[in-house]
Copies of this chain bind each other. A is one copy, B any other.
């Protein structure tokens, strides 16, 4: 990865953090405690993979900054809410997230439930409040709702829940991840590009292929890291999937084959970007980053 890409990433993350803070309700507004907890859940943490994908895809088509920021914030709020709910005792029961106590540990379960619910509504609000061409905005809101809902992220979590202790095939594991994390990553790439132009079917298909490949690669690498890294490096409890008897790529394929699969998916992602030529270089770098990350 070039120093230029590293700089782009760092400055994008920093700018996004400021923008995200501005799109969250203020702690001066009632109810202050709920707003404080929403900000605790969403700010100051995470790699901001979804916002980076939004900006990288938008970069290809000279997308306007305000719409990009709103799309990125909306996607990150959906992601943040899903983590808050996923960490709750009735789901994964996790006490540590991004190196900090999870929301239900820091506050309480009822607050965690409401923080997630309110962050989801806030995601749609931020996007619906954009000053943009209305038909484009409706299309983006539709895509966000699909990606977040029962045939997207929530559906993937339901399949994940049902698969604890069940012997899944690699195909079934892939389908689960395609919904659970893939749907939102795909929405990030497509929505980012849509901020800049109305996409042709061929462009959507190419971006879909890229997003599918990095989405799976992301999960394969997650499983590899869960099996090999420690909690301090990850900022969350390591070895949790194995302890919870959840199927992973490492448990199904072994460590070496999982690493090879991540490499192959990265190559697939690069191949999918060929039609976009040089202007896709940030998306290419992001694919490399996802596969080479250490946490």
Q: Which A residues form the contact surface with B (CB < 8 A)? A: 25, 29-31, 33-35, 38, 81-82, 85, 88, 90-91, 108-111, 113-114, 116-118, 120-122, 124-125, 128-129, 134-135, 137-138, 141-142, 144-146, 148-152, 154-155, 157-159, 161-162
Contact = CB atoms under 8 A, between A and B. Distances in A.
A150 B121 contact: yes
B124 A154 contact: no
5 closest A-B pairs by CB: A121-B149, A134-B134, A90-B109, A125-B145, A34-B158
Contacts of A141: 124, 128, 138, 141
A121 B144 CA distance: 8
15 contacts: A30-B151, A30-B159, A31-B150, A31-B159, A90-B108, A91-B110, A111-B161, A114-B154, A114-B161, A117-B120, A118-B149, A118-B150, A121-B149, A122-B150, A137-B138
Contacts of A35: 150
A146 B158 contact: no
Tallying the copies of this chain within the complex gives: 2
A252 B295 CA distance: 54
B25 A110 contact: no
Given A90-B109, A114-B161, 8 more contacts: A31-B159, A34-B158, A35-B150, A110-B161, A111-B158, A121-B154, A125-B142, A128-B145
A83 to B, nearest CB: 12
Given A33-B162, A128-B145, A154 B90 contact: no
Contacts of A29: 151
Nearest to A34: B158
B120 A121 contact: yes
Contact of A121 (B33, B128, B145, B161): B145
Nearest to A161: B110
Given A113-B90, A145-B128, A118 B154 contact: yes
B31 A117 contact: no
Contacts of A145: 121-122, 124-125, 128
Contacts of A122: 145, 149-150
Contacts of A161: 110-111, 114
Nearest to A31: B158
A31 B175 CA distance: 11
A41 to B, nearest CB: 12
Contact of A149 (B111, B125, B157, B159): B125
